Amino acid sequence: MERMITLDTQKMPKEWYNVLVDLPKPLEPPLNPATGKPLTPEDLSPLFPPALVEQEMAQERWIPTPQEVLEVYALWRPTPLYRALGLEKALNTPARIYYKYEGASPAGSHKPNTAVAQAYYNAQAGIRRLTTETGAGQWGSALAFATRFFNLECTVYMVRVSYNQKPYRRTMMEVWGGKVYPSPSDKTQTGRSILENDPENPGSLGIAISEAVEDAVTHEDTHYALGSVLNHVLLHQTVIGLEAKEQLAQVGDYPDVVIGCCGGGSNLGGIALPFMADKAAGKKVRLVAVEPKACPTLTKGAFTYDFGDTARMTPLLKMYTLGHSFMPPSIHAGGLRYHGDSPIISLLVKEGVMEATAHYQTEVFEAGLLFARTEGFIPAPETNHAIKAAVDEAIKAREEGKERVILFNFSGHGLLDLGSYDAFFKGELQDYELSEDEIRKALEELEKLAVR
C-alpha cells in the first residue's frame, strides 16, 4: 500500500480550472462601493493588473498557467498526496483517509500557489511594489517569498494579535525582503483613526485589508494582492485539487468527501473546486467547509452584499458575512478570523452544493495533536479544522461500518505556530462560541447597507 503518492514532475497541471463555468448559477456581480453599480474592469485597475481582472470574470473553463509561474511552482510542486495510514489505524476506521500536503512550499502553506501567480502578473504590468494584509503570517510570508522572484517590493500589514503571537513569521517575511507593520498601524489614515479611539486594538483581517488597499491606491506604482476570497485566487489554488485527483486516480481511488478549512475559502476552493465539474455531471462527492465556531461565517452569517474590509474601501461582494465591522475573538487560527467568505464558496453553500461545519478550537487542536502523533507532520492551527472534520468523518464510517474515501487539504505546517500548541498544553486555549445576541449585533451593521 502506497503511503506517499507522488506525481511525476512532467504531470504538474499546466492550466488552472475556472469553476465559474460550472456553478449552479452565475455569481451576482461585485458592486462599486461609491456608486452601488456593478464593478467595471476600470474600477479594479488601481488595485490589480489587467490579467487578474480578466481572470476574475473569465468564461473559459481552463486558464493556462504561465511558464514563469510553472518554473517557480517546480520548487515544490507537485506536492505529495499521503494516505493517512497512521491516523486510520489510531481511529480503527474502515475509511481511507488521504491528505494533500501543501506544507511543502518554501513558505509552508498553500498560499504561494496564488502569490507567485499574482507577483508574476503584477511584474508583467510594470508594478514596482505589492501591499497586502496577513493574519497568521502565512499569506504575508507567501507574498514576500513570491515577490523575490519577480523583483517586486512587498509591504505587509500584519494583524497585531498575530504579529505578537508569531514573531518568527515576521522574521520570515523580512528574510525574503518584505516590510512588515502591525495592523492597525500608524502608516495609514485608517490605522491612525482606529488607534486614536482604541490604542490596544488587536486588529483584524478586515482592518489590515483596509490599510493595504489604502497604501496601494495612494501610490501610483503599487498594487494590492489579496490572499483569498477573490475568484482569481481560488482559480490559482485549483492546482491543489487537480494534482490530488490525478494522484488518487493513480491508486484507483475517488473521494466520497473532500474537506478543507475555510477562512476566505482559497485552500478549500483549491482542493474542492476541481471536483465540481464531476459533481455537476452527477457524480456523488460531498464537499465540506470547516470553520471556527468563534468566526462562523458560513454557518451563522448572512448571505448578502458586504464590504471585504472594515473601512468600506473594497467592492461590495455577495457572500456569507458576519458584517464588515465584526471583530472576531483572538483565536489561534488567525487565518480563519475573517468576517466574510469567497463569493464562489458562499454561493455553493447557499445552493446546497457544499456543506459547512464549525468547531471549537480545543477540539480542533486535539485532532491536530492526534494527527501529529500518528502522521508526524505538525499542522497549522487552521489546518487542524480540516483534520477535525476528517477525523469525525472517519469515526462516522467506523460507526456505520462503511468504507469511505476521505480527502482533505493539509493547508500548512505549524512549525511557526508552536506557541499555540504550548498554549493548548497549558490549558490556556479558550472555546469561543458566538451567542445569538453577538451574531445579531454583528449583522445589524448590514441592515444599514442599502444593497441586498
Q: Return the half-sphere exposure (C-beta side, CA atoms, 13 A cut-off) of residue 324.
A: 25
Q: How far is the CB of 450 from ligand PLP (least distance, A)?
A: 29
Q: How far is the CB of 452 from ligand PLP (least distance, A)?
A: 25
Span interacting with ligand PLP, options 30-38, 46-54, 259-267, 360-368, rule CB under 6 A: 259-267
Interface pick for ligand PLP out of 104, 240, 322, 380 (rule CB under 6 A): 380
Q: Is residue 266 within the footprint of ligand PLP (CB under 6 A)?
A: yes
Interface pick for ligand PLP out of 228, 297, 325, 361 (rule CB under 6 A): 228
C-alpha cell at 231: 475568484
Q: What is the DSSP string of 84-147?
A: -HHHHHHHT-S-EEEEEEGGGSTTSBSTHHHHHHHHHHHHHTT--EEEEEESSSHHHHHHHHHH
Output phi, psi for 312, to 5 deg: 60, 40
Q: Is residue 411 within the footprint of ligand PLP (CB under 6 A)?
A: yes
Map residue 222 onto helix, strand or coil: strand
**Nearest position to ligand PLP, beta carbon:** 335
How far apart are the C-alpha atoms of 25 and 347, rounded to whole Å? 8
For residues 326 to 345, the per-residue mask of contacts with ligand PLP, x marking binding by CB under 6 A and - elsewhere, is ---------xx---------
C-alpha cell at 326: 465584526
With CB under 6 A as the rule, give the number of residues binding ligand PLP: 21
Span interacting with ligand PLP, options 169-177, 189-197, 265-273, 321-329, rule CB under 6 A: 265-273
Cα 396–chain centre separation:
27
Rule CB under 6 A: which of 176-195 touch ligand PLP?
A: none
Map residue 339 onto helix, strand or coil: coil
- Contact between 385 and 336 (Cβ < 8 Å): yes
Kindly tell me which of 43 and 412 has the beta carbon lying closer to ligand PLP: 412
Kindly tell me which of 93 and 379 has the beta carbon lying closer to ligand PLP: 379
Interface pick for ligand PLP out of 383, 408, 421, 443 (rule CB under 6 A): 383
Q: How far is the CB of 101 from ligand PLP (least distance, A)?
A: 12
What CA–CA distances, in Å, run from 405 to 211, 224, 339, 386? 43, 39, 32, 15
Question: Residue numbers of the site for ligand PLP (CB under 6 A)?
Answer: 109, 135-136, 138-139, 228, 261-268, 335-336, 380, 382-383, 411-412
